[in-house]
Amino acid sequence: MASTAWPKPDQRQLLGKRFDRLDGPAKASGTAKYTHDTNLPNMLFAKALWAPHGAAKVSGIDVSAAKAVNGVAQVWSVEPGTEVNYAGTLVAVVAASTEEIAREAVNKIKVEYEVLPHNVDDRDPAKVSGEPSKKEVPDAAGVDEAFKSAEVVSEGYYGASPITHCCLEAHGQAAEFRGGDLYVWATTQNVSGYAGSVTDAAGVPASQVHVECQYMGGGFGSKFGADQWGQICVQLAKQTGKPVKFMLDRDQELMIAGARPSVYGKVRVAAKKDGTVTGWDSDMLASGGKGGGKAPDMPYVFTGVPVIRNVSRGVPVNRGSQRAWRAPGHPQNCLITMSALEDMAAKLGMDALEFFMKNLQYTGRPDVYRDELTKAAEMIDYGSKAHPRGDPTAGPIKRGLGMALHQWGGGGHGSNCDLTVNPDGSVDAKIGTQDLGTGTRTVIGIVVAETLGIPLERVKVNIGSNAYPNDGASGGSTTVGGVSSSARDAATQALNIVLDKVTPELGVPVDRLVARDGKIFDADNPSKSMTWEKACSLLGQMPINTKGSKDPKDGTKLTESGVGGVQMADVSVDIETGVARINEMVAVQDCGLIVNLKTAESQVYGGMIMGITYALYEEAIYDPVTGRMLNPDMEFYKLAGLADVGKLKVHMMTGPGYDDRGVIGLGEPPVISPGAAISNAIANAIGVRVPIMPFTPDRVLAALGKGGAVA
Amino acid sequence: MNSFEYANPNTVEEAVALLASEWDETEVLAGGTDLVTSMKQWVAAPKRVVSLKNIKDLQGIEADEKQVRIGAMATLAELIENEHIQKHYPALITAARGVGSSQIINQGTVGGDLCQRPRCWYYRAGLGLLAQQNGKSLVKDGDNRYHAIFGNDGPAYFVNPSSLAPALIALGATITVQGPQGKSREIKAGEFFQTPKSESEREYGLQPNEILTHVTVPISNLKNATYEVRERQGLDWPLVAAAVAFNLDGETASDVRVVLGHVAPVPWDVPSAAKALDGKNVTEESAAECGETAATGAKPLSQNGYKAQLVRVAVKRAVLAATGKPMET
Ligand SMILES: Cc1cc2nc3c(=O)[nH]c(=O)nc-3n(C[C@H](O)[C@H](O)[C@H](O)COP(=O)(O)OP(=O)(O)OC[C@H]3O[C@@H](n4cnc5c(N)ncnc54)[C@H](O)[C@@H]3O)c2cc1C
C-alpha cells in the first residue's frame, strides 16, 4: 500500500521543484476572468454615494431625481436617522444600465446631514477611551524593580501609521437570480463559506446560493464575506430581476474596505551590559476605528524576556474599520519590538547581529533563528558592510544595515478534496478553495501528480466554487497546508485502488509497486511495469472517486504549524533630502515542506515588496477638518514601483529539520519583517531613529532635526 | 463622467470658436492624462470637449539658430527625444523624464503639462480650487504636507504641478496663446501663471476661449539644470524641484535664474537666490548659499516645514548639476 505520508527526499519527483503557475498564461493573456470582468446579458451596474463627513446623522435623503434618470432601474438608500461613523459610509446605491448613467444618477441624490464632531487623530493620548489593557510579568512591583535595578535602560517612541489593503481588484461582486437560485461571482478569500453572508439579503437558503471565484486580485485579509456592498448587490438583483454588478470604486475601496490598525507608543528596554535583555515595558495607543483598538502583546518573537509590562489604550477614530491585514498585528509588533531592541544594541555600542544572537534564548526556536540569521548575514555580506550606528563616511548619502525576526503559525485549515481517476487515466481534483494569486491551483496539481506519479499536465484542478467539497477560508496562511493534505489523502487512496488492480496483472506484491514517471513498476525490478493509462484501464468502465481530508483517516499528519524568518535590509538615506532607498533586501524563511519552490519564493518576494511599500510610502491620510481620507487614490496612496524595491534575495530553509515537518503556510510571514528591518537600517545609516512609519522624507528630516524652515 | 459634446476641429481658429467665454463650460483636450481623470472624478464636467489632436499647427518641435519652437501638442516623449532640446536644455529633459511613467510621457503634451490643474487633494476631492469651507481654508488646519510654503498668504495654498514650467521660466521661454478673431498674444513664461483670488479664476493667464499654441525657448549658452526631490523613483510628483540657468564665464556665474517648483501656487521665481550666485565662482559653498537664500522667507504651514530644507538642497544640487558636476546620489 502506498503511504499517505509525504515521500522521503530521494523519492520526491515534483515536490520542492519550480513550476510556473497553471493559470499564468490565462492571467498574462487576459483570458482569466475576474469578478470585475463578469459581464452578463442585461446586466445592471451599481454605483454608490458615500458620506463625506467623519461623523454625521443622515437627516434627510431624496433619491427621486436619481430614480427619474433614464436607464436607472433601482436605488438603495439608507433611512433618515442613520448614523455615519466615518467618511465613505455608503448612503445610496444606484443600479442602472450603464456605469455612466449610474454615476450621473448618484450625483442627483440629495442628502442632508447633521454633521457631528469627529476625531481622526490616533496619536493624541487625550483621546483615549475605555479602560486600558494591562499585562505585567511577574507583577507591577517586579517590573518596577527590574527597571530600577537594570544595568542599562533604553527608551524610545515608535509607531506605525494606518494603511489599507489596497487590493488591486476592488471589493465587489456580480449577482443574478436564475430559477429561484442565486448565482454570485465574488472576489473572496472564502468561496466555501461565502453563501451564508448573502442568504438574508437573498431570502433563499445557502443550498440555493452558488458562489464562484476563479481568479481574484488580492484580499490580504479584507475579503471574506459579502459585506454590506455585496448584500446590497443581491438585494438590487432580486428587486430588478436582472444581474447586477457592484464593484467599489478605488476611493471607496480605500476608505471602507478595511485598514490595518495604527499603533504608537513608548517603550523601555532593560538589559545587562553584556547585552542580555532583562525587561520590556511598553505603553501603546492603538487605533482600528470607531471601536478603538488594542496593541499586540509585546515584545515580539523574544517572548521569553523575563520581565514584561504591556499597557495598551484604545483611541476611537472616525475612519473605516480595521480588518485583518496580512499577519494581523505582527508587522506593527515586529517594527516596535525590533526597533526598541536595536536601539538598546546601539546604546550598548553592540553590533545588532551579535545582540539579537545573544538573546535568542528568549525565542521559541533559537536554533532556527540562529541558522537563519547566519544565512541572511552571509547573503547580505554583513561582515564587510556592517558598521556601528551612524555611517561615518563623508557626503550626504548614508548607508546602513538592519534586521528583524518574525514568526507565524500557518498550520493547514480544514480541507476536503474529491478526486476522480478516469479509466483513460485522466485525473480531476475538486476543492472548494480559492487561488488568491499565490499559486494554490498549481500546488494542488503538484501534490496530486506527485502522488500518482504522473505529469502535472494530466491533473485537472477545479477550485473557486462552493459546488466543490468545502475548504477553509484563505486567511492566516492556512491554505497550502490544508489543500496539500486533502489532495495527498485523496490521491493516495485513489492510487491504492489502482495498485490493487495492477498487483495481479504484474504479479508483484502491492508493497513493491511504485507510481512514477507515468508508470507503475516493481521497485525491485523496474522493467516489470505498466503505463498509468494501462493501469487505469483496469478500472473497467467506471471512474473511481475518493474523498480526502486535511486529517486523513489513517492518522497521517501532513501539515505543521510554526515558522520563523529573518530579513535584512541594506538602505541608503540622503540626509539632506530625507529620501531613503532600498539597495538590497534578503529574506530567509522556513515553511516546512515546500511544494512549489518558485511560488514559495514569489510569495516571499511579494511580501518584501509589500513591506517596502508600507515601510517607505504607504499611509492612509485623514483630514482633521473634514474627517475624510485625503488620499483615496493610487496617486497619493503611494505603493512602491519596480524602481523602488532594490535588489531582493530569497532563501528558503529546506532539508532535514524543515521538510520533515510537513507543509506549512507562507502567506503572511514574509510581510512581517520589512518595516522593522528597514527602520533599523535607516537608524544604522543616519545615526538616529525615525520613530514613525512610513519613513518618508519629512519624517526622516524631522528625526535629523532638519524639518524646520528658515526663520 | 457626464455626457458631453465632443469636437474635433482642424485649425486653431475653429477650436477657439468652439470654446465658451466662461470657464468650465468647455474644456480643451490634449493628451487627456489630466482632463480625463478630472472628468471621471467629476472635478471637471464640461458641456463640450474640444480636442486639439487634429490641429497640425500645434504639433512638432522646430529649431533655428535663435530659438526652439515647441508646439503645444508635442508630447513629453518628443521633447525628451528631440536633439535640440537635448543639446541646449538639460533642465527640460530632466523635468520631462521626471514625470516617470512612460504612459504619461508618451501621451501627455507640453501644453497639457503647463495647463494641467493642481493636484491638491482638497481640490481633487471636489472641495474647490481654493479648498474653502464656510470661508475658511481647509488646507491651513488640515493636512498640508504637500502644500505651498511660498506665496501662501491665501486664499490659494495648492502648488503648481508643472515640472516643465520652472525650467521654461529659467530658460526665458515665451508662451504664445491664441484667442478669438485670430488674435494671438505672447506671454513671458514667468508671467503666464497666476494665483487665483477666487474660485472663478484659474491658475494660469489664459482666457476661457484661448488656446496655448506653442512655447518658444531662446537658444543661449546658459548652463541649465533641474533637480527634483522625489519620494518614489517611479510615477510620483516631486516634493520640491528647482530649475536654474546661468552664464558661466570660467568659473563665474552671471545672468542667474533660479525657479522653484511645487512650493507655491505658481512656479516660484527667486531673484534673491539668483543674486546670491551672480558674479560668484560656482562652488559647493556658493551653490549651498544660493540654496539657503532660496529658502529664506519660506512660510511653512503646520506640516510642510521640511520643504524649506528640500529647497536648499534642490537649488544647491541644480546649480552644481548645471556646471556638469552633479552630486552623486
Ligand atoms: C501619477 C502622476 C504623476 C505625474 N507626475 C508629474 C510630474 O512629476 N510632473 C509633471 O509635470 N506632471 C506630472 N504628471 C502630469 C502629467 O504630466 C500631465 O497629466 C500631462 O502633462 C498633461 O498633458 P495632457 O496632454 O495629457 O493634458 P490634458 O489632460 O489633455 O489637459 C490638461 C489640462 O490642460 C488643458 N490644456 C491642455 N492643452 C492645452 C492647450 N494647448 N491650451 C489650453 N489648455 C490646454 C486642458 O484643458 C486640461 O485642463 C503626473 C501625472 C500623474 C497621473
CA dist., res. A393 & res. B83, Å (int): 39
Question: Do both A370 and A473 map to the same domain?
Answer: no
Inter-chain touch A709–B308, beta carbons under 8 Å: yes
Kindly report whether the peptide bond that precedes residue B180 is cis, defined as omega within 30 degrees of 0. Answer: no
Half-sphere exposure in the Cβ direction for A237 (13 Å, CA): 29
Find the farthest-apart pair of alpha carbons in chain B and give their distance in angstroms, rounded: 60
CA dist., res. A411 & res. A289, Å (int): 30
CB A292 within 8 A of CB A228: no
pTM over 0.95: yes
| Residues from chain B contacting residue A694 (CB–CB below 8 Å) | none
The minimum-distance atom of ligand 1 relative to the CA of B228 is 8
CA dist., res. A461 & res. A217, Å (int): 19
Sign of the torsion formed by the C-alpha atoms of B293, B299, B304 and B305: positive
The list of chain B residues with pLDDT below 50 reads none
For residue A530, the domain's CATH number is 3.30.365.10
User: Is any Cβ of chain A less than 8 angstroms from the Cβ of B65?
Assistant: no
- Quote the minimal CA–CA distance from A516 to chain B in Å: 48
Categorise residue B111: left if φ over 0, alpha if ψ from -120 to 50, beta otherwise: alpha
Q: Could you report the predicted ipTM of this complex, rounded to two decimals?
A: 0.97
User: Is any Cβ of chain B less than 8 angstroms from the Cβ of A626?
Assistant: yes
Question: Do both A591 and A699 map to the same domain?
Answer: yes
Q: Give the pLDDT confidence score for residue A1 in this predicted structure.
A: 85
- Note whether residue A649 is domain-resident: yes
Binding site membership of B16 for ligand 1 (Cβ less than 6 Å): no
Question: Do both A484 and A539 map to the same domain?
Answer: yes
User: Is any Cβ of chain B less than 8 angstroms from the Cβ of A126?
Assistant: no
Q: How many domains does chain B have?
A: 1
- Note whether residue A149 is domain-resident: no
Q: How far is CA A342 from CA A361, A588, A695, B70, B210, in A?
A: 17, 19, 17, 55, 61
CA dist., res. A13 & res. A450, Å (int): 6
Inter-chain touch B143–A621, beta carbons under 8 Å: yes
The pLDDT tens digits for B13-71 are 999 999 999 999 999 999 999 999 999 999 999 999 999 999 999 999 999 999 999 99
- Note whether residue A2 is domain-resident: no
> Which strands, in side-by-side order, build the sheet including A133-137?
A133-137, A307-314, A277-287, A262-271, A152-160, A692-693
DSSP string, A600-652: HHHHHHHHHHHHHHHHHT----B-TTT--BS--STTTS----GGGS-EEEEEE
Nearest residue by C-alpha to atom 38 in ligand 1: B112
CA dist., res. A249 & res. A269, Å (int): 45
- Quote the minimal CA–CA distance from A397 to chain B in Å: 7
Query: Which neighbouring-strand residues pair with A429?
Result: A419, A461
Question: Do both A401 and A521 map to the same domain?
Answer: no
Interacting residues of B23 by C-beta distance below 8 A, sequence separation 6+ = B200, B202, B208
Binding site membership of B195 for ligand 1 (Cβ less than 6 Å): no
CA dist., res. A426 & res. A532, Å (int): 9
Q: Give the pLDDT confidence score for residue B100 in this predicted structure.
A: 84
Burial, A541: exposed, middle or buried (Cβ in 10 Å; 0-12, 13-18, 19+)?
exposed
Half-sphere exposure in the Cβ direction for A586 (13 Å, CA): 19
- Note whether residue B289 is domain-resident: yes
Question: Do both A536 and A646 map to the same domain?
Answer: no
CA of residue B163 to ligand 1 center, whole Å: 10
- Note whether residue B226 is domain-resident: yes
CA dist., res. B69 & res. B217, Å (int): 7
For residue A218, the domain's CATH number is 3.90.1170.50
User: A607 lies in which domain range?
Assistant: 327-410+561-706
CA of residue B118 to ligand 1 center, whole Å: 10
Question: Do both A525 and A573 map to the same domain?
Answer: no
Nearest to A630 among B121, B229, B313 (CB): B121
DSSP string, B62-113: EE-SSEEEEETT-BHHHHHH-HHHHHH-HHHHHHHHHT--HHHHHH-BHHHH
Nearest to B141 among A625, A631, A710 (CB): A625
Question: Do both A587 and A677 map to the same domain?
Answer: yes
Phi, psi of A183 (to 5 degrees): -110, 130
Binding site membership of B35 for ligand 1 (Cβ less than 6 Å): yes
Scan for cell 507510481, then name that residue: A515
Inter-chain touch A628–B138, beta carbons under 8 Å: no
Q: Which long-range contacts (CB under 8 A, 24 or more apart) does A209-212 make?
A: A209/A181, A209/A182, A209/A184, A209/A466, A210/A181, A210/A182, A210/A183, A210/A184, A210/A465, A210/A466, A210/A467, A211/A184, A211/A186, A211/A465, A211/A466, A212/A183, A212/A184, A212/A185, A212/A186, A212/A464, A212/A465, A212/A466
CA dist., res. B40 & res. B32, Å (int): 11
Q: Give the pLDDT confidence score for residue B325 in this predicted structure.
A: 76
- Note whether residue B256 is domain-resident: yes
Binding site membership of B46 for ligand 1 (Cβ less than 6 Å): no
The minimum-distance atom of ligand 1 relative to the CA of B29 is 30
CA dist., res. A264 & res. A287, Å (int): 9
Q: If DSSP codes are grouped into helix, strand and coil, which group holds residue A509?
A: coil
For residue B323, the domain's CATH number is 3.30.390.50
Q: How far is CA A436 from CA A16, A20, A168, in A?
A: 20, 15, 12
| Residues from chain A contacting residue B235 (CB–CB below 8 Å) | 641
- Note whether residue A286 is domain-resident: no
Phi, psi of B312 (to 5 degrees): -55, -50
- Quote the minimal CA–CA distance from B183 to chain A in Å: 38
Interacting residues of B196 by C-beta distance below 8 A, sequence separation 6+ = B129, B130, B155, B156, B202, B203, B265
Q: How far is CA A252 from CA A37, A104, A317, A339, A669, in A?
A: 19, 17, 18, 34, 28
Inter-chain touch B303–A698, beta carbons under 8 Å: yes
User: Is any Cβ of chain B less than 8 angstroms from the Cβ of A644?
Assistant: yes
Per-run averaged pLDDT (10 residues), chain A, 711 residues: 95 97 96 96 98 98 98 98 98 97 97 98 95 97 98 98 97 97 98 98 97 96 97 98 98 97 98 98 97 96 98 97 97 98 98 98 97 98 98 97 98 98 98 97 98 97 98 97 98 98 97 97 97 98 97 97 98 98 98 97 98 98 97 96 96 96 97 98 98 97 78 36
- From B8, B35, B101, the mutation candidate for ligand 1 (largest count of ligand atoms within 8 A of CB) is B35
CB A191 within 8 A of CB A464: yes
Give the residue from A348, A548, A560, A335 showing the smallest Cα distance to A448: A548
Binding site membership of B238 for ligand 1 (Cβ less than 6 Å): yes
- Note whether residue B239 is domain-resident: yes
Binding site membership of B211 for ligand 1 (Cβ less than 6 Å): yes
Query: Which neighbouring-strand residues pair with B137?
Result: B132
Binding site membership of B228 for ligand 1 (Cβ less than 6 Å): no
CB B124 within 8 A of CB B116: no
Q: How many domains does chain A have?
A: 3
| Chain A residue whose CA is closest to B2 | A104
Question: Do both A688 and A628 map to the same domain?
Answer: yes
Question: Do both A387 and A428 map to the same domain?
Answer: no
Inter-chain touch B309–A707, beta carbons under 8 Å: yes
Helix axes A479-506, A440-452, angle to 10 degrees: 20
Q: If DSSP codes are grouped into helix, strand and coil, which group holds residue A258?
A: coil
CB A572 within 8 A of CB A685: yes
SS3 of chain B: helix, strand, coil, percent, to 5: 35, 25, 45
Question: Do both A574 and A701 map to the same domain?
Answer: yes
CA dist., res. B297 & res. A702, Å (int): 20
DSSP string, B224-240: EEEEEEESSSSS--EEE
CB A534 within 8 A of CB A528: no
User: B307 lies in which domain range?
Assistant: 222-329
- Note whether residue A136 is domain-resident: no
- Quote the minimal CA–CA distance from B12 to chain A in Å: 31
Inter-chain touch A710–B295, beta carbons under 8 Å: yes
CA of residue B94 to ligand 1 center, whole Å: 17
- Note whether residue A130 is domain-resident: no
The minimum-distance atom of ligand 1 relative to the CA of B107 is 26
Inter-chain touch B143–A576, beta carbons under 8 Å: no
- From B99, B202, B203, B209, the mutation candidate for ligand 1 (largest count of ligand atoms within 8 A of CB) is B99
Q: Which three cell numbers stand for residue A215?
A: 481568479
Q: How far is CA A665 from CA A377, A548, A599, A600, A659, in A?
A: 24, 19, 12, 9, 13
- Note whether residue B143 is domain-resident: no
Nearest to A107 among B42, B298, B328 (CB): B42
- Note whether residue A261 is domain-resident: no
Q: Give the pLDDT confidence score for residue B154 in this predicted structure.
A: 85
Binding site membership of B300 for ligand 1 (Cβ less than 6 Å): no
CB A499 within 8 A of CB A513: yes
